[in-house]
C-alpha cells in the first residue's frame, strides 16, 4: 500500500470511516447529491478538490459532479431540481432570481474578473470591437456578463458587438484562427495556448480594480429551507477545499492538472498562481459591490434589476455560522 496512486483511495476510505463512526451524515448515512459546475477552468478548483480529497465524504455526502457548460444551463438544472447545488456564474443566478426562481448565492468563489481579453490582429484598440464577432461560452454566461459590463464602462454598448454563443475554449480558439470570431475572454492556462497560436492579449481583466461577482456556490431558497443540513455539510466541505487549495500548492496543482487535462507543469502552475491564489479568499463571502455592478448594467434591459439590492441574491447564513463557530479559523491553525 506504499503506491502513491493509492493515496486518494485511502483518503476517501478514511473519510467514509470517519463519517460512519461520527454520524457525519443524516443518521450516519451517506447522502447522494448532484452538483453542477459550468466550465473547465481554475475557478472551479474548490468543487474539484472537495471531491478528490474526500471532503464531501468526510461530511456525509456522496457528490456526483456534473459539467453543464454556461451559467444559464446550470441554473436551469438548479431550478428544475436536477442539481440542487451548482458552482456557477453569478450572472445566471441573478437573472434567474429576478425571474422568480428563488436562486441565491451561498458563497462567492471569485470576486474579481479572472479573464484576459484576446483578439485577432485586426483588433488594435478596444473601440475596434464595434461591429465584430465576440465569442462567449453561452449567452448570459459569466464571461458574457463580464465582457458587456467592462465594455459598457469603456463606452461600448452591448448592441455594438455581435456576441456569439461559441461553446468551450478549444472551439473559440479554432473560430478565432479561422477569423469567424475576432475576440474572446480566456483564463489561464488557456492564455498560454492562445499566445502560442499567435493571438494577442489586449486587456488583462484581472488587473482591473473592480469588484465583480464572477461565480460561486448557489442553491434555491426552497431547497435551503427543505435541506438545510445538506447545504451546511456541503459548505463545510467547500471551505475545507479552500483551505487545502491555499495551503497545499502542489496538491492543488495536481487536481488542476487532472481536471484541466494539461500535462505542462508550467501551464498548471500559471493557472494556480494567476487564478486560484489571486482570487480565492479564506471566507468566500459574495461581494455586494460586485453584485450591484451587474445589477446596474442589467437594469437597462430589466427594470426589476434597478429595484433590487445585492442581499436579495444571497444567503450568507451558512458562511456566517462557519465563521462565528471558529470552524474556518481552526483549519488554518
CA distance 42 to 333: 26
Mean of all residue pLDDT scores within the chain: 91
* Inter-residue contact 267 to 60 (CB < 8 Å): no
Residue 120 and residue 108 share a domain:
no
Residue 95 and residue 231 share a domain:
yes
Task: Provide φ and ψ at 66, rounded to 5°.
Answer: -125, 130
Enclosing domain of residue 130: 116-207
Residue 100 and residue 11 share a domain:
yes
Number of folded domains in the chain? 2
Give the residue with greater pLDDT, 20 vs 236. Answer: 236
The three three-digit cell numbers of residue 234, written as one number: 456541503
pLDDT confidence tier of residue 167, bands split at 50, 70 and 90:
confident
Residue 218 and residue 97 share a domain:
yes
Does the pLDDT value for residue 85 go beyond 50? yes
Does the pLDDT value for residue 70 go beyond 80? yes
Burial environment of residue 294 by CB neighbours within 10 A (0 to 12, 13 to 18, 19 or more)? buried
* Inter-residue contact 194 to 173 (CB < 8 Å): yes
**Which pLDDT score is estimated for 300?**
85
Residue 251 and residue 146 share a domain:
no
Residue 229 and residue 201 share a domain:
no
Does the pLDDT value for residue 21 go beyond 70? no
> Can you tell me the mean pLDDT for 15-32?
57
Task: Provide φ and ψ at 129, rounded to 5°.
Answer: -70, -20
Evaluate the CA torsion angle 172, 265, 238, 112 in order and state its sign: negative
Residue 133 and residue 84 share a domain:
no
CATH of the domain at 154: 3.40.190.10
pTM of the shown model: 0.83
Among candidate residues 197, 206, 203, the one with its CA nearest the CA of residue 172:
197
Last residue of a domain, one of 158, 182, 207: 207
Last residue of a domain, one of 181, 207, 233: 207
Tell the residue number behind the cell numbers 474556518, with chain if given.
328
Residue 101 and residue 20 share a domain:
yes
> Can you tell me the mean pLDDT for 260-278?
91
Residue 306 and residue 216 share a domain:
yes
Last residue of a domain, one of 161, 189, 207: 207
Looking at the DSSP bridge assignments, the partners of residue 88 are: 216
pLDDT confidence tier of residue 169, bands split at 50, 70 and 90:
confident
Does the pLDDT value for residue 117 go beyond 80? yes
Amino acid at each position: 500500500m506504499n503506491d502513491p496512486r493509492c493515496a486518494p483511495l485511502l483518503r476517501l476510505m478514511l473519510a467514509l470511516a470517519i463519517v460512519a463512526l461520527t454520524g457525519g451524515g443524516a443518521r450516519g448515512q451517506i447522502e447522494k447529491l448532484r452538483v453542477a459546475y459550468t466550465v473547465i477552468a481554475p475557478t472551479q478548483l474548490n468543487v474539484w478538490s472537495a471531491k478528490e480529497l474526500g471532503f464531501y465524504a468526510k461530511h456525509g455526502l456522496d457528490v456526483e459532479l456534473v459539467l453543464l457548460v454556461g451559467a444559464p444551463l446550470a441554473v436551469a438544472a438548479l431550478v428544475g431540481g436536477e442539481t440542487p447545488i451548482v458552482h456557477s456564474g453569478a450572472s445566471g443566478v441573478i437573472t434567474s432570481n429576478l425571474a422568480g426562481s428563488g436562486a441565491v448565492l451561498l458563497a462567492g468563489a471569485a470576486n474579481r474578473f479572472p479573464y484576459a481579453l484576446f483578439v485577432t490582429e485586426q483588433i488594435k484598440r478596444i473601440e475596434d470591437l464595434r461591429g465584430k464577432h465576440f465569442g462567449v461560452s453561452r449567452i448570459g454566461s459569466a464571461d458574457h456578463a463580464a465582457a458587456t459590463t467592462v465594455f459598457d464602462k469603456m463606452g461600448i454598448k452591448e448592441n455594438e458587438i455581435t456576441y456569439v454563443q461559441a461553446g468551450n475554449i478549444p472551439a473559440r480558439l479554432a473560430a478565432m484562427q479561422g477569423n469567424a470570431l475576432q475576440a474572446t475572454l480566456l483564463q489561464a492556462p488557456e492564455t498560454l495556448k492562445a499566445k502560442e497560436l499567435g493571438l494577442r492579449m489586449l486587456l488583462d481583466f484581472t488587473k482591473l480594480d473592480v469588484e465583480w461577482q464572477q461565480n460561486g456556490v448557489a442553491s434555491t431558497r426552497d431547497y435551503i429551507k427543505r435541506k438545510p443540513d445538506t447545504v451546511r455539510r456541503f459548505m463545510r466541505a467547500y471551505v475545507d477545499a479552500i483551505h487545502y487549495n491555499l495551503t497545499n500548492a502542489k496538491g492543488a496543482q495536481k487536481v488542476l492538472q487532472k481536471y484541466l487535462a494539461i500535462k505542462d507543469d508550467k501551464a498548471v502552475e500559471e493557472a494556480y498562481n494567476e487564478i486560484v491564489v489571486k482570487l480565492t479568499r479564506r471566507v468566500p463571502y459574495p461581494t455586494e459591490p460586485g453584485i450591484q455592478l451587474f445589477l446596474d448594467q442589467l437594469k437597462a434591459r430589466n427594470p426589476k434589476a434597478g429595484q433590487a439590492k445585492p442581499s436579495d441574491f444571497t444567503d450568507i447564513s451558512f458562511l456566517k455560522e462557519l465563521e462565528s463557530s471558529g470552524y474556518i479559523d481552526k483549519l488554518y491553525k
